Amino acid sequence: MKLIEAGYMENLKPTYWCVGLILGKLNYSIAMVQAEQTNEGWCVFHKDGLCQLHDLGLKPTEGRLSRHDIKPENYVFSKGLAYNVAKEWLDSSNFPVVQEIFSRLDVLVQVESELLGHS
């Protein structure tokens, strides 16, 4: 929401996180909003090797949840950064903000814990 309020809505897009589904770890995809990617595959906020959002006080969830001690040999899906970021979109305490974000992007979503299999 902070990115939208800071005027970056044009750099965001609704999407589905499907990695858990593809890996067979989840039986559903997760509706979310992510920063757009450049033609080179970088996040639009990635400039000169750095995230331009940090200096603006808009540190992304990925940065707040990032861990540098996870290696391929000790990787556990449930502790992975991508999954934990995606999981924030399923946290019922975030539903009012999630609904508002999608609303501002003119996307209709229904966020209810019963539909997601969470209580």
pLDDT in tens, 15-62: 999 999 999 999 999 999 999 999 998 889 988 888 888 888 897 777
The phi and psi torsions of 12 (rounded to 5 degrees) equal: -115, 150
Q: Which domain holds residue 48?
A: 2-110
30 found inside a domain: yes
83 found inside a domain: yes
28 found inside a domain: yes
118 found inside a domain: no
Strand, coil or helix: what is 56? helix
Give bridge partners of residue 51 from the DSSP assignment: 46
49 found inside a domain: yes
116 found inside a domain: no
86 found inside a domain: yes
Query: Rg of the chain's alpha carbons, rounded to an integer?
Result: 15
- Structural domain total, the chain: 1
What whole-number distance in Å separates Cα of residue 106 and Cα of residue 99?
10
Q: pTM to 2 decimals?
A: 0.76
Closest among 50, 29, 36 to 3, alpha carbons compared: 36
